[in-house]
Amino acid sequence: MGTGPDAASGPPSRLGPGRTGPLLPDAEDLPPRLRPERCGPRLPPASAMPNSVLWAVDLFGRVYTLSTAGQYWELCKDSQLEFKRVSATTQCCWGIACDNQVYVYVCASDVPIRRREEAYENQVAALMVGAAERRWNPVGGFCEKLLLSDRWAWSDVSGLQHRPLDGVALPSPHWEWESDWYVDENFGGEPTEKGGWTYAIDFPATYTKEKKWNSCVRRRKWIRYRRYKSRDIWAKIPSKDDPKELPDPFNDLSVGGWEITEEPVGRLSVWAVSLQGKVWYREDVSHSNPEGSSWSLLDTPGEVVQISCGPHDLLWATLWEGQALVREGINRSNPKGSSWSIVEPPGSDNGIMHVSVGVSVVWAVTKDWKVWFRRGINSHNPCGTSWIEMVGEMTMVNVGMNDQVWGIGCEDRAVYFRQGVTPSELSGKTWKAIVAARECDRSHSGSSSSLLSAGCFFGDEVRGSGESAPSDTDASSEVERPGPGQTLPAEPLDDSKNAMENSASGPGAGRTTEDTVEDACPAEGSREARPNTHPGPATTPAELPWTNIDLKEPKKVPSHSAAGFPETTSLSSLGLFPLGLEEPYGVDDHPLWAWVSGGGCMVEACAVPRWFTVQAGLSSSVHMLSLSITPAQTAAWRKQIFQQLTERTKRELENFRHYEQAVEQSVWVKTGALQWWCDWKPHKWVDVRVALEQFTGHDGARDSILFIYYVVHEEKKYIHIFLNEVVALVPVLNETKHSFALYTPERTRQRWPVRLAAATEQDMNDWLALLSLSCCESRKVQGRPSPQAIWSITCKGDIFVSEPSPDLEAHEHPLPCDQMFWRQMGGHLRMVEANSRGVVWGIGYDHTAWVYTGGYGGGCFQGLASSTSNIYMQSDVKCVHIYENQRWNPVTGYTSSRDRISPCWSGWSPTPELSKPASASQSVEITGIVRREPPRLSSTSAFSKLMK
């Protein structure tokens, strides 16, 4: 209670959080100095790609993170506990540990987590009777002892709750006091007198800081800050279990909802599923309260096994029976949602085992490990329309930020990343294994020994004789290890952990190494006196003969060819698509993963982390071989094929890496006939041929030039415009021509834009869209405007957006607005306002309020490659009044014949002459903006509007 804002103190702040303003004690818990927004937006802007981490749990419950900037899995800083589930966000990670308890790991950062505790000290004036005056006079001091009927001497802000200072306890062991209690000498933004007392006539009243003659009561506020101290460690969340009932431990957990609302800062939705299939929601989780306050139970139509909460309003769960449950009605004011609906699995034989949702995607894994993508998900239809089967077999998938997808391969237990997931292609292109090694693997030998141990299977030349002893040890410990189940004597090197882990993973892991090892051991007879467990690195033989790995019987062949996904793929990519050679599939000694969470991992399609290539100098194809040595009877031919393929790749590809990609570099031309306003003699529209040449550089950047060919005095001439110089493309409404203008800084200065006109509106829209896209491409502007974008409208109601420089710093010489690049958004507004968080509202000419929904394109951009989601119809009405002007003439009466100045039809402003028909009202079809009814209307009407 004591932490709430003090409603009685001071006028409501008109400044939003994070703005500079007078120090308002009631603004929020944190003093403004420490409020995160002051240091810039807390969430990274979409354009930048800061380091973020992918969380994963291996088969042994150890939690690892992989940074987008790193190449190694790092063991979680707090590795005391073993986990079975983790669900990450940028600022924290929730997990269920092996003890079935829930833990939260709050990442360390510069922003402290502080909360203010408040308590009020209340006093009443000691009333004295003046004998002479015979009346009550409040002249005495204030006394500390209050009457029984009065309020508590120490209370919360309402005065109704008793709240002594020493009774205010820390909510959990993860908090510590920052300082002792002190008196707040700040009242409504102004300093009080020493002591911080505020006065009033009586309790429940309005307090003032001045003491008046009739001030009978006074109170003052005591403040103490507590700080969350358990950062970078797993902090246990108190169990929900009622000691009187049987325990029902948690089984699954998912964190999301950070995009639903930003109030309070860092708010999260934490959902959990218990073993009995019940769904629980953690109340009040936010930046300043990372642990939340309590678990509340939600009704479900069946027993839930697994749950997934997206960053926004998507929440899916799976039922024991294999259907999916979809939560409906989640929104800003109701993050828990209101009802469930059921989605049937893709097939009746195999129910859904696992779902994972993003902002607008749903992925699922069925009980036969098949991966499915849900089609038709959007904010109005959280259930989607149908399932699409994806390639690959996974034990689980996880959708992270940006709707990027990770999965854990069913065969090899590797973490896969879905490549090519973009807003326009949410299902991505292909699974790619993350081959990053663990930090611990790297550290235990001079070279990347896990890779070398892979190499040892493929012949002596890879290992060479000069390899360092530790890596040899590593290799032999792997090959010579006794079968699974047998314990190893203490290994001399610190790779023992590694070896143990391999032996513990046992059969059925589907990894060739393991199988080879198992087969190898009994058939070892021919090998020369090599002890099963050698005492130390010194005795390690320098070479393993190639035949050691060839003990596998060829009977495996059929199953191998049917094995499918990762294994066969890698192999055959050798044969069919030589380019696939760079794709290493799984390092031999790779960790086996159980769970992955990408909720805190920001990967953008344009900048994929370096997780997919092996860092050591080993040729990557060697690793592929490790997966493909199934029928290994005749290794010579096999060895030679891979060796030759590697050499061929080097010969045919690597030497030409620096060559520009021929296919990527394209010149693309669109030509057409337009009219061009000739600004010199004869000052009229002239027919021109135009050609847009678009070329792609080897770095993928596109640039375009617009040529305008015209004939003057029978002489052919042309002008050209580099589209990367164009700052604005503006449609010019004109009743006779469908025209538009191109501005460059130079042409704006000369007041001489290039004006072009098309024969039809469609034609104009096509050109406008194409030119606009080309301009955006050459300036690398794509997707929706960033939250920092600057919005403006023209006098005609067209909406334009400009992106400020990414660092948001004011330049020494700020760019004048006529040199900024403005791109048009579909839509039509009279006024537009935006805030720094990307909320954009506008008012149409018919006084309707509109809110920007995050789509881009629309308007003339329909039908071109742009976002089709979040684009809706907008209608606007602009009334143009036309006055019929007639002059009275004594001879003819009123006549419309023209006189000196006024045209016979005129608009409401001295604009050009209007022809009579059609202009009474002008309806413009616009998109990109959704109509938001005024707040007083019910939301159903807003929806019916949307349905249209």
Partner 1 sequence: MHYPIGLLFDLLASSSALPWNITVHFKSFPEKDLLHCPSKDAIEAHFMSCMKEADALKHKSQVINEMQKKDHKQLWMGLQNDRFDQFWAINRKLMEYPAEENGFRYIPFRIYQTTTERPFIQKLFRPVAADGQLHTLGDLLKEVCPSAVDPEDGEKKNQVMIHGIEPMLETPLQWLSEHLSYPDNFLHISIIPQPTD
Residue 282: alpha-carbon gap to chain centroid: 22
For partner 1, the closer of residues 565 and 767 by Cβ is 565
For partner 1, the closer of residues 430 and 862 by Cβ is 430
Least distance between partner 1 and beta carbon 570 (Å): 10
d(CA 354, CA 858): 36
Residues in Cβ contact with 716 at an 8 Å cutoff, skipping those fewer than 6 apart: 709, 710
Q: What distances in angstroms separate CA 167 from CA 123, 217, 288, one per listed residue?
A: 19, 24, 21
For partner 1, the closer of residues 18 and 580 by Cβ is 580
Least distance between partner 1 and beta carbon 86 (Å): 28
Least distance between partner 1 and beta carbon 572 (Å): 6
Least distance between partner 1 and beta carbon 642 (Å): 9
Secondary structure in 3-state letters for 571-585 = HHHHHHCHHHHHCCC
Q: Which long-range contacts (CB under 8 A, 24 or more apart) does 575-579 make?
A: 578/645, 578/648, 578/649, 578/652, 578/653, 579/653
Contact 26, 11 (CB under 8 A): no
Least distance between partner 1 and beta carbon 425 (Å): 11
d(CA 212, CA 931): 53
CA dihedral 506, 511, 512, 515 (to 10 degrees): 20
Q: At CA 337, angle to CA 335 and CA 340, rounded to 5? A: 155
Contact 82, 448 (CB under 8 A): no
Phi/psi of residue 247, nearest 5 degrees: -70, 145
For partner 1, the closer of residues 96 and 574 by Cβ is 574
Least distance between partner 1 and beta carbon 391 (Å): 4
Site residues, partner 1 (CB under 8 A): 391-392, 429-431, 557-558, 561-562, 564, 568-569, 571-578, 580, 631, 634, 636-638, 640-641, 644-645, 647-648, 651-652, 655-656, 659
For partner 1, the closer of residues 569 and 906 by Cβ is 569
Least distance between partner 1 and beta carbon 711 (Å): 29
Least distance between partner 1 and beta carbon 394 (Å): 13
* Token output for 672: 């057409």
Least distance between partner 1 and beta carbon 431 (Å): 7
For partner 1, the closer of residues 454 and 574 by Cβ is 574
d(CA 417, CA 193): 62
For partner 1, the closer of residues 146 and 653 by Cβ is 653
Phi/psi of residue 440, nearest 5 degrees: -65, -30
Residues in Cβ contact with 654 at an 8 Å cutoff, skipping those fewer than 6 apart: none
d(CA 260, CA 337): 12
For partner 1, the closer of residues 471 and 569 by Cβ is 569
Least distance between partner 1 and beta carbon 428 (Å): 10
Least distance between partner 1 and beta carbon 865 (Å): 16
For partner 1, the closer of residues 644 and 921 by Cβ is 644
Contact 113, 106 (CB under 8 A): yes
Residue among 772, 757, 593 nearest 686 (CA): 757
* Token output for 115: 């909360």
Least distance between partner 1 and beta carbon 561 (Å): 6
Contact 453, 517 (CB under 8 A): no
d(CA 310, CA 319): 18
For partner 1, the closer of residues 261 and 644 by Cβ is 644
CB neighbours of residue 422 within 10 Å: 17
d(CA 360, CA 402): 10
For partner 1, the closer of residues 473 and 646 by Cβ is 646
CB neighbours of residue 911 within 10 Å: 9
Please report where in the chains the tokens 């109005």 appear, as a residue. 380
CB neighbours of residue 451 within 10 Å: 27
d(CA 2, CA 5): 8
Least distance between partner 1 and beta carbon 392 (Å): 7
Least distance between partner 1 and beta carbon 564 (Å): 6
- Tell me, what amino acid is at 742? L
Burial of 235 (0-12, 13-18, 19+ CB in 10 A): buried
Residue 15: alpha-carbon gap to chain centroid: 28
Element (H, E) at 84: strand 83-88
For partner 1, the closer of residues 565 and 740 by Cβ is 565
Least distance between partner 1 and beta carbon 390 (Å): 9
Per DSSP, the three-state class of 555 is helix
Least distance between partner 1 and beta carbon 641 (Å): 5
Least distance between partner 1 and beta carbon 690 (Å): 25
Q: What distances in angstroms separate CA 342 from CA 318, 324, 728, 908, one per listed residue?
A: 9, 6, 49, 57
For partner 1, the closer of residues 235 and 415 by Cβ is 415
For partner 1, the closer of residues 156 and 583 by Cβ is 583
d(CA 606, CA 83): 33
For partner 1, the closer of residues 452 and 635 by Cβ is 635
DSSP 732-773: EE-SS-EEEEEE-HHHHHTT--EEEEESSHHHHHHHHHHHHH
* Token output for 169: 């306890």
For partner 1, the closer of residues 429 and 610 by Cβ is 429
For partner 1, the closer of residues 573 and 748 by Cβ is 573
d(CA 25, CA 465): 72
CB neighbours of residue 486 within 10 Å: 11
d(CA 783, CA 778): 14
Least distance between partner 1 and beta carbon 322 (Å): 23
* Token output for 648: 């061929």
For partner 1, the closer of residues 574 and 758 by Cβ is 574
